[in-house]
Structure 1
């Protein structure tokens, strides 16, 4: 289904969707403690369950524990769980004969529209890490953003689209999880309006609140730019293809990736290392970016 939103001239669009120039303090007050708790549990600063601490999310066992925590989190905020279990080829017929297939769980949930609709807006983040890395910024920040936005979407009285939130497994293994999920969506022929993936949103050394849009579809780039202008957030288009958004672009979906300023070199220096810890996260930047994404979705719904 094509939306007429993007046919409206930008100067009219801006007048229709006036937003606050600064983050709503009530929104921030509600979001910040929640995001800190999520990231603390995911990267080992606090226990994730029953005295268990995760120092990484790389092994099958660690990823399964993480998937359980995320499933419970989505159920707790009132979304309907629709997890996707997959098996995937190792990329070589010979390897497939001697190795177990790659397999995992894409943790997924749906928030129905408040009116009858068959259209879905998909957003999400990967939850696995490189071996040896706690993965606070890469990518517990993306998970915390998505969960906090999901809580706010649940509170909206009018939603003309269904929302689908997916936490992807095995992004660090050449995006195996998101590629499997994108293929599943293509096969089932769901009516997907757009796909928004978030990867690393916890570093802002120059404090400019900047966000990069990775390979954005033109309509989505215009939407994000219009909201960013109202919030006074600088956004930059990049050609980065090394994350989950590429899986959906390859299947023909209208998609983009969202990240801190990776190309502009204002990104965590602790990427894929043991130093990617809770204490390196810029929570103010994470909250600002979460507010930005939430208002993008609110504008889309209008």
Structure 2
């Protein structure tokens, strides 16, 4: 069972030392926390360096698969922009990955490896995920948590959507056409406890959603699903100092994480 209280504890620890960017104290504190949490689950944490700065780091752990070289990855970026504690963006996503790892660690040997990826450099052009995608097999696919902690009585939407939801009580599932099956799988796993809004993006609307770590997967022809509370379309604290723990709905985040666990269990075989 995914615990909202444990999610709260993860977010609290991640935001405690301020923004997670550059050479700020929040960076080493977050990296230590993520490493310690995954290690406490009995997982081996691998450091992927993609640049010369101390913050140019991905943290990766996995449950090894039995019969396939390909993996199913659950991903989130740990970094923030300046001047925000980044509770929703994206401590909520990191917390979800950590709790999913807890739920999946005792899974009987899956056919495909299950990999947990915490990326740096998302806020600087997806640097960490771009480097990571260059190292994985062509059949590896991913679910990317990008802000999973906000609900709202109101909901905005991009202009290309016809009759979009007006209440922010759902999780958006954003896919390119090749990844539509991932959106279907997640929506099925989420029902009936979590409303979803699957969105298969047409080419003419791609610029609206090319904003997170799913982008390098799509660009390389791999399947990836963006799972998001829709950022500024719902969250007025997006990239602001007010993106704090007390603004989050962690029961909602727990339901999102539970749906991801069920989806990954099915995908990994």
Larger Rg: 1
Q: With structure 2 as the length reference, what TM-score do the two structures score? A: 0.84
CA–CA separation in structure 1 for the residues paired with 2:103 and 2:190: 19
What's the secondary structure of 1:196's corresponding residue? Answer: strand
What's the secondary structure of 1:198's corresponding residue? Answer: strand
In the alignment, what sits opposite 1:277? 244
Total equivalences in the alignment: 246
In the alignment, what sits opposite 2:157? none
User: Do the aligned partners of 2:133 and 2:216 also contact (CA within 8 Å) in 1?
Assistant: yes
1:134-283 residue pairs with structure 2 within 5 A? 134-185=85-136, 190=137, 192-206=139-153, 209-216=169-176, 217-231=179-193, 233-237=195-199, 238=201, 239=206, 240-262=209-231, 265=233, 267-283=234-250
Range with greater deviation from structure 2 (34-43 or 291-300): 291-300
What are structure 2's unaligned runs of at least 5 residues?
Answer: 154-166
In the alignment, what sits opposite 1:5? none
User: Do the aligned partners of 1:120 and 1:163 also contact (CA within 8 Å) in 2?
Assistant: yes
In the alignment, what sits opposite 1:59? 22
CA–CA separation in structure 2 for the residues paired with 1:64 and 1:247: 25
CA–CA separation in structure 2 for the residues paired with 1:272 and 1:138: 7
What are structure 1's unaligned runs of at least 5 residues?
Answer: 1-26, 45-53, 88-99
RMSD: 2.2
In the alignment, what sits opposite 2:64? 112
**Structure with more contact order per residue of length (Cα contacts < 8 Å, sep ≥ 6):** 2
User: How many Å apart are 1:296 and its aligned residue?
Assistant: 1.1
